[in-house]
Amino acid sequence: MKVNYLSKEGYDNLKEELRDLVTRGRKDIARQINEARSHGDLSENAEYDAAKEAQGKMESRISELEKILAGSRVLDGKNIDSSKVYVLSTVTILNKKTQKEMKYTLVSKDEADFNKGKISVDSPIGKALMGKSQGDVVKVTVPAGLLELEIMDIKRD
Task: Report pLDDT digits (tens) over 122-136.
Answer: 999 999 999 999 999
Q: Is the pTM for the entire model greater than 0.85?
A: no
Alpha-helical (H) ranges within the chain are 8-20, 26-37, 46-70, 124-129
The Cα-based distances of 12 to 6, 59, 73 in angstroms read: 9, 20, 12
pLDDT category at 1 given cuts 50, 70, 90 is: low
Q: At residue 61, does pLDDT exceed 60? A: yes
Q: What is the mean pLDDT of the chain?
A: 88
Task: State the CB neighbour count (10 A cutoff) for residue 111.
Answer: 24
pLDDT category at 14 given cuts 50, 70, 90 is: very high
| Cα–Cα dist 45/3, whole Å | 43
Per DSSP, the three-state class of 142 is strand
How much of the chain, in percent, has pLDDT values that exceed 70?
94
| Cα–Cα dist 24/137, whole Å | 49
What pLDDT sits at residue 78?
Answer: 66
**Region 34-55 average pLDDT:** 84
CA Rg, the chain, in Å?
21
What pLDDT sits at residue 18?
Answer: 95
Tell me if 48 sits within 8 A of 8, measured CB to CB: no
| Cα–Cα dist 53/58, whole Å | 9
Question: Which class is 4-74 in CATH?
Answer: mainly alpha
Helices 26-37 + 46-70 axis angle, to 10: 160
Q: Which of 3-7, 41-45, 87-91, 127-131 has the lowest mean pLDDT?
A: 41-45
**Region 84-104 average pLDDT:** 92
> Is CATH 3.10.50.30 the right assignment for the domain spanning 77-156?
yes
What pLDDT sits at residue 83?
Answer: 83
So where are the chain's domains? 4-74, 77-156
What pLDDT sits at residue 157?
Answer: 66
- Of 57 and 142, the structure prediction assigns the larger pLDDT to 57
What pLDDT sits at residue 80?
Answer: 66
